[in-house]
Structure 1
Amino acid sequence: MARGDSVSLTAVAPGLSAVTVELGWDVPSLTGTDFDLDACAIAVNQRGKVYSDQHFVFFNNIQTSDHSITHTGDRPGDEAIHVNLAALPADIDKVVFAVAIYDADSRGQTFGQVHNAYIRIVNQTGGAEIARYDLSEGSVTATAMILGELYRNGADWKFRAVGQGYVSGLASVAQEFGVNV
C-alpha cells in the first residue's frame, strides 16, 4: 500500500471480527544512545475525538475498560495491538495507530533515523496478513508518526495508510484527538 491508500478489510476477509495490528521498525545501532519506540492506539468517535481517556491505549494503559483494544506490551523493534472489532462500541468511528520515540527531544532522535517502519493488519482467525503499509522514508523532524487507521464504512471495516509525522512526540498526537495528557 502507498500513503493515503485504503483497503476494505471485510471484503478481503469476510466475517472478520478481530485483528492484530503489528507495528515495527529498525533503529540505528551506532548512535550511542538507545532508541525506545512506543506504539499506541486511539479509539475515536464520530466527532474525531478520543472516545474516552480509557480508549487511549499505550504502554501505561494497555487495555480499554471494555477489553476491545489490548496492547501486548513494550518490545524492541515491534509491538502489537489486538482489536476486537465486534466488541468496539458502535459509536467508535475509527482506531488510529501511532508510534512515538520515547524521550526523543533530549536524545536528539527523529524518525529520520528510523528505518523500515511498517504497520500490518493480521486476521486473528488464521493469522493471515490482510493489509500492510511500509513507510518509505521517515520524517527528518518527526518524533511521532501516525502510521495508519482502522475505520468504519457502514457495516465494513477499512484500513487507511496514513504516514503523518508530528514534531512534538506522542503528546501532540494525543492532544490532536482530545486525550487529556
Structure 2
Amino acid sequence: MSRVAKAPVALPSGVECNVSAREVRVKGKNGELMFKLPEGVDLEVADGEARAKPTGRKPNMAMAGTVRAVVANMVKGVNEGFERKLELVGVGYRAQASGDTVNLALGLSHPVAYKVPEGVKVQTPSNTEIILTGADKQVVGQAAAEIRNYRPPEPYKGKGIRYSDERVVRKDAKKK
C-alpha cells in the first residue's frame, strides 16, 4: 500500500467530514469543499480521522495516496486556508484589487483586468504585492499561476510577476 495513504488525516475540532455516494464533503469555518472519490478507493471516517483504503489492484494503491493528500488539503483549507503571495518587479508594474478583479499595469499597451475565481479573496497591501487566499488549494494556486502568466519573470533584468518564495536565476548580458 502507498506510504502516503497509510497515514490518517486528523480532523481537528470544528471540521466535519462526510462520505456519501462516493462524494466527500468537508465543512469548516472557511466554507465547504466537495470531492468525488475515484473508483477503487474508499474513505473511512471514524474517531476524528479519515483513512483512504484501496480496493484490490496496484494502481488503486497509488490512487489511495492521492485521495489521502487531497482530503488532507481539503481539511487544512476549511480549517486554516491557503495563501499565495505574488510580487511585481519592474518599473511601472502595479496591481490594484477592486472587488473580485485585479487591475494590473504591466508595461503592456493596455491594462490587464483579471477576474478572480469564486472562493478566492485578493488583497493588494502595496501596489507591487498581491495576496490570494482561499479554502481550495488548487483554485488558489491556479489563480496565482494565471496572474503570473501575464508577465513571468525574465532572466536578464528580473522583471515580471513572481511568487514571493521564487528564486529567479539571473543571466549575464551579452559580452563584447
Question: TM-score, normalised to structure 1's length?
Answer: 0.26
Compare relative contact order (CA 8 Å, sep 6+) and give the higher one, 1 or 2.
Answer: 1
More strand by share: 1
